[in-house]
């Protein structure tokens, strides 16, 4: 009996099964990734404006001398704020708060600003925050800032560009927009950013956030047109807005009257350092006084 010279062929079925399994796994992962991106996009406003979900705090602090202020944004949205008058102000300051705050949370800090720096302070809530109507989104929040600056200018009977603008975190994006458009007596920025996509790209490095985000707040583009006094501070341990992002914004400002204060070891929500408080006092004393027009 003769032996066959035919070489046995390997069974290719296991390899085919592995390929099919891999393709299915990739498809599942791909679909899951797309769903995660869709969820991030859908929840963008909830992630960016968490303070709009909070109504807590003391809305009638008997110890605080303030005026309840109601005014309207350009589209008619009814807004709310607190004005803390100083009997001998060395300046008028508009405070633009961060995305997790509202004025009732800020009572002690607003009183600190008035007392320590001898300024009349106006703090307001963006649409959807505190007692302000509406829902927050970039164009609406920026419009609310413009309405607040105009209210304070009319209240103090001064031009809008004679107001000190102070913005923290998200509020820095509002303050930069106001300063670049309307001018300012001085611009004070705390722990803020070049743009929201720049920050999101660090937090969600695995996602194409620069393509997906609707809210931009591109301060780095706007600050290039501001040449007035600038005081900017940032914590070296900021876990939300990286220190170097703050530095990039500062570098983009063409002002010859700008100062940078690094706060060693300070996180995004940590207290300010004494060095920064001292620099803030000097800045307000030097630049807060109104310009007398002959």
Q: Which residues pair with 67 in a beta bridge?
A: 83
Residues 119 and 73 sit within 8 Å (Cβ to Cβ)? no
List, for residues 134-151, the tens digit of each pLDDT value. 999 999 999 999 999 999
Going by C-alpha positions, the residue among 291, 290, 293, 292 that lies closest to residue 90 is 290
Mean pLDDT of 284-294: 73
List, for residues 80-93, the tens digit of each pLDDT value. 999 999 999 999 99
Query: β-strand 186-190 against 78-84: which pairing, if any?
Result: unpaired
Residues 279 and 156 sit within 8 Å (Cβ to Cβ)? no
Maximum average pLDDT range among 23-27, 34-38, 62-66 = 62-66
Mean pLDDT of 97-122: 96
pLDDT at 276 > cutoff 90: yes
pLDDT at 18 > cutoff 50: yes
Task: Tell me the CB-side half-sphere exposure of residue 20, using CA atoms within 13 A.
Answer: 6
Q: What is the pLDDT at residue 45?
A: 85
pTM of the predicted protein model = 0.89
Share of the chain above pLDDT 90, in %: 75
Q: What is the pLDDT at residue 294?
A: 35
């Amino acid at each position: 009996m003769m032996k066959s010279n035919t070489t046995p062929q390997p069974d290719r079925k296991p390899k085919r099964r592995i390929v099919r399994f891999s393709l299915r796994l990739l498809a599942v992962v791909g679909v899951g990734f797309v769903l995660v991106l869709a969820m991030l996009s859908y929840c963008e406003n909830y992630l960016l404006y968490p303070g709009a979900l909070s109504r807590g705090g003391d809305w009638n602090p008997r110890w605080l001398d303030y005026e309840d202020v109601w005014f309207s944004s350009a589209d008619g949205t009814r807004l709310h704020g607190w004005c803390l008058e100083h009997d001998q102000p060395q300046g008028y300051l508009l405070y633009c708060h961060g995305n997790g705050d509202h004025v009732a949370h800020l009572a002690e800090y607003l009183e600190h600003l008035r007392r320590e720096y001898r300024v009349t302070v106006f703090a307001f809530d963006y649409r959807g925050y505190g007692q302000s109507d509406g829902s927050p989104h970039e164009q609406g929040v920026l419009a609310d800032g413009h309405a607040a600056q105009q209210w304070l200018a009319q209240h103090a009977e001064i031009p809008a560009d004679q107001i000190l603008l102070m913005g923290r975190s998200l509020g820095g994006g509002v303050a930069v927009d106001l300063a670049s458009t309307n001018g300012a007596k001085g611009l004070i920025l705390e722990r803020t950013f070049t743009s929201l996509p720049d920050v999101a790209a660090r937090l969600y490095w695995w996602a194409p956030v620069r393509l997906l985000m609707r809210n931009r707040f591109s301060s780095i583009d706007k600050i290039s047109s501001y040449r007035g006094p600038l005081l900017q501070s940032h914590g070296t341990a900021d876990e939300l807005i990286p220190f170097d992002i703050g530095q990039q914004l500062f570098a983009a400002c063409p002002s010859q009257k700008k100062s940078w204060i690094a706060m060693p070891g300070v996180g995004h929500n940590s207290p300010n350092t004494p060095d920064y408080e001292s620099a803030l006092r000097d800045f307000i004393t030097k630049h807060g006084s109104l310009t007398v027009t002959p």
